[in-house]
Chain A
Amino acid sequence: MNVSFILILLLFGAIATYFAGDKLAKTVALVFSLASAVFSVYILNLHQAGINPSFISQWITNPNVFIALQVDGLSLAMLLLTTFLTTIIIFSSFGNQYNNSKTFYALVLFMSFAMIGTFLSADAFLYYIFWELALIPIYFIALVWGNGDVEERKRAIIKFFIFTLAGSLFMLVAFIYLFQKAGSLMLSDLYAVRLTSQEQFWIFLAFFLAYAIKIPIFPFHTWQANTYQKAPAVGTMLLSGIMLKMGLYSVIRWQLPIAPIAAKTYMNIFIALSVVGVVYGSIVALKQRNLKKLLAYSSLAHVGLIAAGAYSLSVDGLRGAVLQMIAHGFVVVGLFFAAEVIERRFQTQEIAEMGGIRIQDSKFASLFMIVMLASVALPSTFNFVGEFTLLYSLYNVNIWFAIIAGTTIILGAVYMLNMFKNVMLGDKDSRVFAVVTTQEIIVFVVIIAVLLFFGMYPKPISDLVTPPLQEIVGRINRL
């Protein structure tokens, strides 16, 4: 059985969820996402056993386009991240009631389908289709099921859509140009194209627009905070947990190896932009009064560090980026879930209206505390491994990058602990905080277990992703 089965499974799951009706929808969606997670573990086993589960078949003959799904350590890591996080996200939403939930869960599964397609594609045409396809479900999830005033939400989300689409259309131009050069859009053919440094510069820039908006890198981040705030919890988790990893993954898989000369020449500029994003995100986060917005800006800071590591063009940097992508995926889902747990009870996102939770529910306070500490990269959590490797790789490029980016850890601790104090501590006022349910505890425990386990023993993931990353770095340095 090859990897294309997982896409068929999820697409079928989306359709089945839609026809299951509103009552059964979430159960059906959970079953299918769990099945996809199990299947991705099976693919991992195949990969470890030395069997290649890739899938290639010709799609369109005249412009030479293939349906090519490639499995290597890197795409496998992203596959596992997506399937497991989708399962957790769907399970975490069991406490919510959505109107028309059959459509909602069908869209969630469909989005998972598109994102997995993006991570697996080895043909640029197919990759681009999945990349754009992932945008449609999240647009509707955020628009129809989002919170806040309708007019404001519409404005925030259409901005997000047009920004992302605009960026990716420039990527499309780059692909069309490459297609003329290579005669095919297969990844291996694109790697083999010889481009002058000027051509590489323009192609690198077109890719950068698409990815910088998706990730987002400063100054293309303006859509982020509002969209995260307006989207429903599930949408925010999908966006921050998985979808922005599409951008980071694409930097490593497509941008750097296709335009290596440009990547090397302008490396410092792109690292600098990413580092500016780190500092900017942290400082803005200090000032936030809205919990989801605060988490959005903290996410901007962490992701900027990942991007900086990826642009450092070293095996360490790329490995750190991949590790931190996975760690950040889990931790950010945990944080947004905590915000959602509070919102379910207090019906607010304003930090000023919270407080006094720890006195009423110490269990939730401890769980939130652990996730929060993981996000500020406390040693022995997975995030520490990722951020440490990233800072080390920046140090190798230029010590100042490491120092400036390192402030994120200090500032992160400041705004996170401050937030924790305002949200959780304090006297019990009139608001009643109902004790967390078992279902909510399970979500937290799973996330914390992943973060702690890989924090102490990151070797399996590291071993999985290092060979393909070495190959990519080798390709960059050879030219």
Chain B
Amino acid sequence: MNTLIAISGLGVLCLLVEMFNARKAIVPITILGLLAILGYNISVYNTLGTFYNNMMLVDRFSVAFSSLFIVITTVLITMSHEFYKDRPTKISDFVAIKVFMLAGGVAMVSFGNLAMFFLGIEVLSISLYILAASNRLSLKSNEAGMKYFLMGSFASGIILFGIALIYGATGSFDLTTIYQVTHTASYPQWYIIGTIMVVIGMLFKIAAVPFHFWAPDVYEGAPALTTATMSTLAKVIAVATLYKLAIILVPGQTYAFQMIIVVVAMASMLLGNIMALRQNNVKRMLAFSGISHAGFMVMTLLISNNSANILLYYATSYAVAGLAIFAVIFYVMKDKENETIDNFNGFGKTHPLLAAVVTTSLLSMAGIPILSGFFAKFFLLSQVIQTGWIVLVIVAIISSIISVGYYFKIILAMYTKDSEQELTSIPLVYKIVAILLLVANIAIGLMPNLVLNLIS
């Protein structure tokens, strides 16, 4: 609970620092603050409970995922000083919005009441709308913000309608009460309709097929740092929330619900990967790759045993690989009109170390062993096969094979083509972040137990 208050306080502090004209101090202060909050959050790992009449419910799940969100936000904010170098006056806004977004995310994994959940999702979404449109003078960025806002608010409306129906059926917003009602007494049909609406809204937020249409356009138009935020932080938050909601709201593992999840997962994996093959724009490609990973992560809803741990592991590995790639993309795509793969040409010769980071991170996403992405897929699929959905596993494998095709487009561009651009040195902060993330990727790959047993 205190984590959430502290994060909100930190966001306000960022805005205040601006008033005292200490712009340079914003990023360091925020990083220190976030690290302190992370330390506090880890220290409450064993003292769990509910707060404010069940509005907040702090359990292992919420603590573990909040820590992951804080780490991702810290990485994003570390890079924001360099990223917004040419617009220094706005930095406090950008940093503060990201911190508020984190607050929304923490609320979304530790809610005990659907009102709190909706509050969280709105804080998160509104922050993202602003960030997507934050490059005020760029037409594309404006378009992205508008598109995301229109579609996102529609999805929020559906979620709200679903919550209303659930309230109508059970007479409560409180999760424990809802759980008791649905597991002990009979409930009206519209409870199921309400649940489905909430799930649809969340599937929109994680960009799973068939609610994925906004993702490529928004990812492409938004400034690169916002794209990074959306594809790592926002996606991980949304998936964790969907997991938490589905576990509590869906009574039992009904065949119908499983069928929905299987179809969504299959469609996301196949469509995401096949569409990504055709992309030439790196951000669009990563958007489609993100759709396919959403399909993978949704599969955790099918399995009963150990599923939260596996979701956490998968989300961590996905975020670590994604952030490392984006750290390099910030440098490669800086001030570029077109953000095509050609910008990576010859990168392997000019910057061998960072090319190696990109290569390993892409291999991790494709699921090549020793990197954490492989372990994530292995743990996930080994549980899915237990549920009997062998078809789903085979589709997952086939889509992994397809994904190699487009991940290797970037690798081929880096190593086989020659660069036409002059050699510039990469900003130190991107370099450090990228290398640290690579180390983290290999570390959680070699020692999966670091992450895998946090929620039991």
Contact = CB atoms under 8 A, between A and B. Distances in A.
Interface stretch (B33-41, B132-140, B392-400): B392-400
Nearest to B352: A103
Contact of A136 (B363, B386, B415, B449): B363
Contacts of A133: 368-370
Interface stretch (A55-63, A83-91, A265-273): A55-63
A103 B348 CA distance: 12
Given A60-B449, A62-B449, A154-B412, A169 B401 contact: yes
Q: Which of B382, B385, B390 has the most CB of A within 10 A?
A: B382
A416 to B, nearest CB: 35
A165 B401 contact: yes
A153 B412 CA distance: 11
Label chain A's interface by main secondary structure. helix
B393 A180 contact: no
Interface in B4-50: none
A180 B401 contact: no
A130 to B, nearest CB: 8
A143 B359 CA distance: 14
Contact of B415 (A60, A140, A166): A140
A190 to B, nearest CB: 14
Interface stretch (A31-39, A171-179, A285-293): A171-179
A166 B368 CA distance: 12
A435 interface: no
Label chain B's interface by main secondary structure. helix
A179 B382 CA distance: 8
B370 A129 contact: yes
Contacts of B251: none
Contacts of B449: 60-62
Nearest to B385: A176
Contacts of B309: 62
A132 B385 contact: no
Contact of A132 (B369, B386, B394, B448): B369
Contacts of B379: 63
A170 interface: yes
A158 B374 CA distance: 20
Nearest to B379: A63
A105 to B, nearest CB: 15
A136 B453 contact: no
Contacts of A165: 368, 401, 404
B405 interface: yes
A129 B369 contact: yes
A150 interface: yes
A143 B404 CA distance: 16
B408 A176 contact: no
B378 A172 contact: yes
Given A61-B449, A63-B382, A180-B382, A166 B363 contact: no
Contacts of B390: 177
B386 A180 contact: yes
Contact of A143 (B306, B370, B415): B415
Interface of A: 60-63, 103, 125, 128-130, 132-133, 135-136, 140, 143-144, 150, 153-154, 158, 161-162, 165-166, 169-170, 172-173, 176-177, 179-180
Interface of B: 306, 309, 352, 363, 368-370, 374, 378-379, 381-382, 385-386, 390, 393-394, 397, 400-401, 404-405, 408, 412, 415-416, 448-449, 452-453
